[in-house]
Each structure stands twice: as C-alpha cells, then as structure tokens.
Amino acid sequence: MKTSSALSNALFARYGKNSEQFNFNFELNSTLEILLSHKSIRHYLDKPLPDGTLELMIAAAQSAASSSNLQLWSVIAVADSERKQRLSALASNQSQITQAPLIFSLACGCQSIRKYNGCW
C-alpha cells in the first residue's frame, strides 16, 4: 500500500525518511497534518497574548475527550514570574518556562474518581 503524496511529504518533513517505510493507505487530513507538522517552540516574544486567547485555549483544552467525561485534569495558567521560576526549578530549570509570558500547568485530579468508588 502507498500513502498519498501529501502524507508522504508530511512524514518526510517530520521524520526525514521516505514514507514508503510506513505501510498504510491513508490520505492526509487536517488532523494528521496538524499532528505531523507540530514543532516545539522554545523562544518567546516578550509581549502579552491578545485578548481572548487564554480563554480560547482553555475552551479548546476542556473540549478534549475524556473517559466518561471524568475530566481528571485541571489547567492552571501561570503568568507570575516568581511562580514560573518555582515551576522551572521543578522541571530541571528549563529556561523556556521562565521566558514564556504565560505557561499552562496541567494537573491530574482524582476528585471525579470518588463518584465511581469501588469501580477501580
């Protein structure tokens, strides 16, 4: 089986190898295109986010699928420099944490599991 040329190109750009090594028959769709073109950003501009950006990002995160709609996580937005410094220390002093004007910290929360007591 062969992949579509658009998918082959996206796989080659991401992995630097010919997509014929991947044996499947798929077309490139918008979801695959986004996932395969992902790049990590480590340098940030020193300017605030446009109004509404934070709320839109949190709304998108809250829309992610979760089993039985348990939503076993919380999103914590951190802009305070001192708090970002402490979080950076917990993450091997990664400089991008302190450089970014805003970071999201994701926390696992088991509160919702209590309503299923005895199931797990």
Predicted confidence at residue 90, as pLDDT, reads 94
- Please tell me whether residues 58 and 32 are part of one structural domain: no
DSSP state of 77: E
- pLDDT tens digit string along 3-27? 577 877 787 788 776 656 766 677 7
Tell me the average confidence (pLDDT) per consecutive run of 10 residues in the chain, 120 residues long: 69 72 74 85 80 88 75 83 95 92 81 59
Q: What is the pTM of this model?
A: 0.58
Residue listed under structure tokens 């699928």:
65
- Please tell me whether residues 23 and 69 are part of one structural domain: no
Q: Which of 46, 45, 44, 3 is nearest to 22 (CA)?
A: 3
Those residues whose C-beta lies under 8 Å from the C-beta of residue 2, and which sit 6 or more positions away, are: 8, 20, 25
- Please tell me whether residues 58 and 100 are part of one structural domain: yes
- Please tell me whether residues 59 and 92 are part of one structural domain: yes
In order of 10, 31, 53, the CA distances from 65 in angstroms are 26, 15, 21
Predicted confidence at residue 93, as pLDDT, reads 95
The residue range of the domain holding 101 is 53-116
Count how many domains the chain has: 2
CB atoms within 10 A of CB 10: 19
- Please tell me whether residues 30 and 68 are part of one structural domain: no
- Please tell me whether residues 29 and 63 are part of one structural domain: no
CB atoms within 10 A of CB 7: 21
